[in-house]
Amino acid sequence: MVVDASKSPSSESIAKRLDTELLLNWNKNGDAPGTVFTLLKLNKLFDSPLLPTWQKYIAYFREKNPRQRVNELSILRKHFSDATLSKMLLEAEKIPSTKALASDLLDDLVIRWMASETVPTKVYSWLRVEGTAENSVARGLYDSYLKFYKQHVPDVAT
């Protein structure tokens, strides 16, 4: 509703005000970004017109609660498996409007896998590398991951 109203010049200022009121209300109620994710029903994250609202709330929450660490990826990993999340992010990276966010989140996800020394076979599966072109994003991420893994976990067979 607010998203639709923001597209019309005649109701844009009202929509912005409502959007601001939502942020204020969520913060006043003590709602964490993960709770707001659920409230906004963002299970189809990159298809939802409410994604920018959630992103605004995260920025607002961080500003108002500087001591509380908020990480989008951690929130997303509570709602999606790594396989589902990596698939969503790879698809979202193909869309100009979501490419930057998806790319950042994919990088964060791969870093998490590196930190936890996730076995390469899982990463290969999650990124759906099989059958992809040599220059695909998934293959590039996997190749980088495998190189890192071999350097840092040399005693484990890949």
Confidence band, pLDDT 50/70/90 cuts, at residue 157: low
Give the H or E element holding residue 110.
Answer: helix 99-115
Inter-residue contact 106 to 135 (CB < 8 Å): no
Instruction: In whole angstroms, give the CA distance from residue 44 to residue 76.
Output: 11
pLDDT digits (tens, 9 = 90+) for 118-149: 999 999 999 998 877 777 889 999 999 999 99
pLDDT at residue 90 is higher than 60: yes
Q: Is the pLDDT of residue 53 over 90?
A: yes
**pLDDT (tens digit per residue) in 95-114:** 999 999 999 999 999 999 99
